[in-house]
Amino acid sequence: MRAAVVFFAAVAVSFGASGEDTIRCRNGRLVNVGMTASEVSSRCGQPKSRTVEEIPVMTRLPTGAARQTGTTHAERWIYGRGQGQLDAMLTFEDGKLLRIELITEP
């Protein structure tokens, strides 16, 4: 019974987006976490969509309060990978690929 609960919990978590370290672009070239945005762009071409945002960087003070000490530049690129393949969302911070997620929902 416990194994069934763990199995169903794992299946439920898998819907939405799944994390990957490497993906294959539509043209067959590979990209992986740690590459720069320019390396990814040269291998995969332009994404079908791109979102850019500035995220505040916070520091906890000795009093327990939080203070903004700067910002980091984040981008999310969506790549269509071809017939029968899930789209991929690539997340960059400060120009470096941090995360690859396969988009499993329409």
CB 71 within 8 A of CB 56: yes
Split at pLDDT 50, 70, 90, the class of 46 is: very high
pTM of the predicted structure, to 2 decimals: 0.70
- Reported as a single tens digit per residue, the pLDDT across 8-21 is 334 334 444 556 79
pLDDT at 84 over 50: yes
| Cα–Cα dist 33/77, whole Å | 13
Domains (range + CATH), the chain: 17-103 (3.30.1450)
> What value does the mean pLDDT of the chain take?
83
User: Per-residue pLDDT tens for 17-40?
Assistant: 556 799 999 898 999 999 999 999
Report the share of the chain in percent with pLDDT over 70. Answer: 81
Nearest to 55 by CA among 89, 95, 93, 98: 93
